[in-house]
Structure formats: structure tokens, C-alpha cells
Amino acid sequence: MQNPVFIPGPTNIPDVLRRAIDLSTLDHRSPAFKEILHPALAGVKNVLKASDAEVFVFPSTGTGGWETAITNTLSSGEKVLAARHGMFSHRWIDMCHRHRLAVEVVEAPWGAGVPVERFEEILKADKSHLIKAVLVTHNETATGVRSDIAAVRRALDAAGHSALLLVDGVSSIGCMDFRMDEWAVDVAVTGSQKGFMLPVGLAIVAFSRRAIAAIEQADLPRTFFDVRDMARSYANGAYPYTPAVGLLNGLKVSAEMLMAEGLENVFARHRRIASGVRAAVAAWGLELCAAEPSLYSETVSAIRTPSGFDANTIISHAAQKYDVAFGVSLGEVAGKLFRIGHLGSLTDVMMLSGLAAAEMAMADVGIPIRLGSGVAAAQDHYRAAHADRYKVAA
């Protein structure tokens, strides 16, 4: 028997999607492939609330999506603006350096969001628009922090700045509200193994009209990730190389599942489950890494442990003794916190089991919490949240 995972990706795979990806070999040059590819691309657009974007899907991971975003829109030596406030924003910045981009890095505390006011000052001061792109990690998975993409867009507009807005939505898209059109996001990046509830294996990238227009001037080397080759092949319902047909079928079905549940219901479910986790954390007397409530992620909670404990022992202990997975801490916060992933295919009841397991593991390693305290707090939250939905017949 297997427990659900509570890591912030890969997420639990619903049976429907396991069946959807389990296809016998299909000729990807046959018309049958079109019937998978085109609905998958259209489905991603729906999930992104993007009417006008072009979606490209690579056999890769979210990291390949970052590379697609920068190499197709930027040229060697060009300047980009980014904040470092967690492991994922750090790694995207590192990738930019390796591609010979000049990164203006704003250092922010791990636990803070993107410093929008500082961004606005920098953009306003950049009169000649040397900054070609602003890179934002929507949900910093290492710290459980959500940044405000709409506010970054307002900062760009307030500065009258022409830089492209490139957004890492790997751990938010399909779980938390994402409005590609409304926020005028130029490139949105995600992977298959988080909100889309599939195995790892796809980089999913959407380009706005403005981003598409930037492609021809962009001189960074790219071959595998050149979206021009993808676009040409997609027009014929094909790929420039061999596509991951099963995963693409999974993506088609996953987008259908999210739309059938209703995006707003999907977001509300993530909010409700996350609030229950936060109620548990408060009942344990512990604190989140996220500095304030407006930053709380609905997909992952990073929980600070009392000093003197190596938080990663909770993870290894939970894995060994209870066969349940939580997220380790990375980079600057390594050992200081552990993470509970609460995204994708998850119900309140699954979450309660995860909280109960976290309590056992914490008690075992000597963290002074009362067994049942967090579970009870989450139960109260879920009972109240469902009070209207399931009225007991009088």
C-alpha cells in the first residue's frame, strides 16, 4: 500500500491521468496525433486564462521552460531584472548568468515576496530601457511565498517600461489563480508534474504576442528549445522531433479535468486545504517562513522548526518510519524548515492524514507538539468550510 505524497511536486497522479498517459505507441506523424496535440494546447490556454497566447510543450521539465523563455526572447549581454528570495528564483538567475545575460539581482529575504516597489524604482530609473525582461517566480516553492504578478505588471506600466514580463508559474499554475491576459504576462512557464498532476516530463510554456514578436531579434543560442521550429511543426499537427505522446494525452485530459471542476473551484479547494494546514501550523505553535499572510502560498507551506532541530531529520524520519514524503528545505533555509506540499490531486481528507503523519514524525524527533492538535485545528477549519455545502438534513 502506498501513501499520498506531500511534497511540492511531483504531485499525486489521479487514476484517470495514469490511464490517459498509458497509450500504446501511436505514430506521431499520423492525423491521430493532432487530435491529442491541439486540444492539449487549447486546454493549457484555458488554464492560463490566455486567449491570445501561443503554447509550446517540450519533452523536458520546468527548468527547460525557463531556458525556453529566456533563449527565445533575449540576446547575449542583455540586461534582465530579477529578485533572489528562494531556491527557484536563485536557480533561474543562475541560468541567466550561464547564458551571458546581465542580471540586475535584487536580494530579498527568503520568506519575502518580489520587492515590487524596488522593481518600480529600478524600472523608472532605466530611462533608456536597457532592461529587456523582468523575471518573476510567482510561487517560490522553497519558502512557500506567493508574489503579486498583477503588482509587477502595474510597476512596469507605472514606469512606462517596455521590458517583457517572464513568469515562473511552475508551482502555481493549475492551483492558484493565474491570469496571463489580464496581467499581460509575456512568457508563462510550468511543468507537467505540479498543478497538471502528471509525471515529470513536459515543459509547458506560453508566449504572448509581444514575446512572439521578440523571437526574431533574440540571438541566444537555441536548438532543442527553439519555439519557431515548434510553431512551424504545430501548424501541421506535428513536432520537430519525437513528442511525448502519452504525456501530451495526459495534459489534454488534465486540462479537461481542471475545467470540469471549474478553475475557480480548483483555486478555492487549494485555498481551503492550505488554510487548514496553516491552522494546524498555528496550533503546533510553529511559524511559516512566509513573512506575512498576503504572501502565503496555497500550494506549499514552509514551516520553521525550533532552533536546535535539523528540520530535515523530520523528513527522513517520516519517510523511514511512516513511508510518507514531505519536502526538504533547500539553500539558505536548509535544515531550518520543512515543507508540506498541498497541491494537485488532493482532498481535505488526504491532507488530514498528512498532518497526522507530520505530527507523529515531529513528536518522534522531539519537537514539543501535542498529538492531534494540528489535525483538530484543520478539522475545525474543514468542517466550517463545508458547513454550507453539506447541510445535514434537519
Ligand X SMILES: *Cc1c(COP(=O)(O)O)cnc(C)c1O
In the complex, the residues that contact ligand X under the rule CB under 6 A are 9, 61-63, 88, 137, 139, 141, 168, 170-171, 191, 200
**What is the rounded end-to-end Cα distance, in angstroms, of the chain?**
39
d(CA 331, CA 333) in angstroms, rounded, equals 6
Question: Considering beta carbons, is residue 173 or 356 the nearer one to ligand X?
Answer: 173
Shortest separation between residue 225's beta carbon and ligand X, angstroms? 13
What's the min distance (Å) between Cβ of 352 and ligand X?
Answer: 24
User: How many Å apart are CA 100 and CA 78, to the nearest integer?
Assistant: 8
For residues 139 and 378, which CB has a smaller minimum distance to ligand X in the complex? Answer: 139
Q: Which is nearer to ligand X, 189 or 230 (CB)?
A: 189
Would you state the cell numbers that stand for residue 264, as one nine-digit string?
Answer: 475557480
- The distance of closest approach from Cβ of residue 168 to ligand X in the complex, given in angstroms and rounded to an integer, is 5
Residue 180: count other Cβ atoms within 10 Å of its Cβ. 26
Nearer to ligand X, 88 or 178 (CB): 88
> Cα–Cα distance between 290 and 112 in angstroms, integer?
6
Q: Is 204 helix (H, G, I), strand (E, B) or coil?
A: strand
* Nearest Cα to Cα of residue 197 among 28, 350, 356, 361: 350
Q: Which is nearer to ligand X, 61 or 353 (CB)?
A: 61
Distance CA 281, CA 271 (A): 15
- CB nearer to ligand X: give 173 or 357: 173
Q: Whole-number minimum distance, CB 173 to ligand X, in Å?
A: 10
Rounded to whole angstroms, how far apart are CA atoms 304 and 286?
Answer: 7
Joined grid coordinates for residue 359 = 505530527
Nearer to ligand X, 289 or 375 (CB): 289
Residue 5 backbone phi and psi in degrees, to 5: -95, 150
- d(CA 5, CA 378) in angstroms, rounded, equals 18
CA gap 116, 98 in Å, rounded: 25
Minimum separation from the CB atom of position 88 to ligand X (A): 4
Q: How far apart are CA 365 and CA 335, in angstroms?
A: 14
Q: Nearest approach, Cβ of 61 to ligand X (angstroms)?
A: 3
Closer Cβ to ligand X, 167 or 230, answer by number: 167
Residue pair 90/105 in contact by the 8 Å Cβ criterion: no
Cell numbers standing for residue 101: 545575460
332 DSSP 8-state letter: G
Question: For residues 184 and 149, what is the distance between their CA atoms, to the nearest angstrom?
Answer: 9
For the bound state, the minimum distance from the C-beta of residue 114 to ligand X, rounded and expressed in Å, comes to 12
Residue 330 CB, nearest distance to ligand X (Å)?
Answer: 11
Nearer to ligand X, 88 or 183 (CB): 88
CB 335 to ligand X: min, Å: 20
Q: d(Cα 107, Cα 5) in Å, to the nearest integer?
A: 32
- Enter the C-alpha cell of residue 209: 504576442
To ligand X, the closest distance from the beta carbon of 378 in angstroms equals 24
Q: How far apart are CA 178 and CA 267, in angstroms?
A: 10
d(CA 319, CA 207) in angstroms, rounded, equals 40
Nearest to ligand X of 142, 280 (CB atom): 142
Q: Which residue is nearest to ligand X (CB)?
A: 62
